[in-house]
Amino acid sequence: MIRIAIILGSTRPGRRGKQVADWVLDRAAARTDVEFELVDLADYVLPHLDEPMPAAMGQYMNDHTRAWSERIAGFDGYIFVTPEYNHSTSGVLKNAIDYLYTEWNNKAAALVGYGGVGGARAIEHLRLVLAELQVATVRQTITLSLMTEFEDFTTFTPTAYQSDLLNTLFDQLVTWAQALADVRKPELAAPAA
């Protein structure tokens, strides 16, 4: 069965992202063709990138990196829930992504953003970062405005329209995650002798 991580990309006190990630997870529970899990960056102590070797080498020296690698490697795809800070994603999410390389390769991702303009600029920045990691991002995104999707800017109240878009996002993500499973097969990773 396809496994998808919903990665909550904010650790800030009072963050709005937990409500959003919980909504995504709750909506995902209706699906029987895929397994979804919440991965909250607040549960992982990842200091500013502190590995001496580039992530592409896969030679991790720190226990926190090895634990993060083990957590991420087993998924076939990801839904990144990102706030928008200063026209980009959060530093904690970018840092968590930068820790790894092959664990992300040839997998699919979907992007859910929230902020003043729905997190659209954070989503576009993440697309560029993920492309370098050989992650295929799906077309459908969710952009949640603090002005219209959060009552008094605090309580998340998604519209039916957003829920419909989320179903499309799930469909696209599962299709791509399944398609990329063959690319990740070990016999395809190395050239034949």
Please tell me the pTM assigned to this model. 0.94
Helices (H), 3-90: 17-28, 63-73
Confidence of residue 185 (pLDDT cuts 50, 70, 90): confident
Span 129-139, pLDDT tens digits: 999 999 999 99
**What is the per-residue pLDDT for 192?**
47
The DSSP secondary structure of 127-193, one letter per residue, reads HHHHHHTTEEEEEEEEEEETTTSEETTTEE---HHHHHHHHHHHHHHHHHHHHHHTTT-HHHHS---
Delineate the domains of the chain, giving CATH numbers in brackets: 2-189 (3.40.50.360)
pLDDT for residue 183 = 92
Report whether pLDDT(193) > 50: no
- Classify 22 as helix, strand or coil: helix
Taking only the tens place, the pLDDT of each residue in 6-43 is: 999 999 999 999 999 999 999 999 999 999 999 999 99
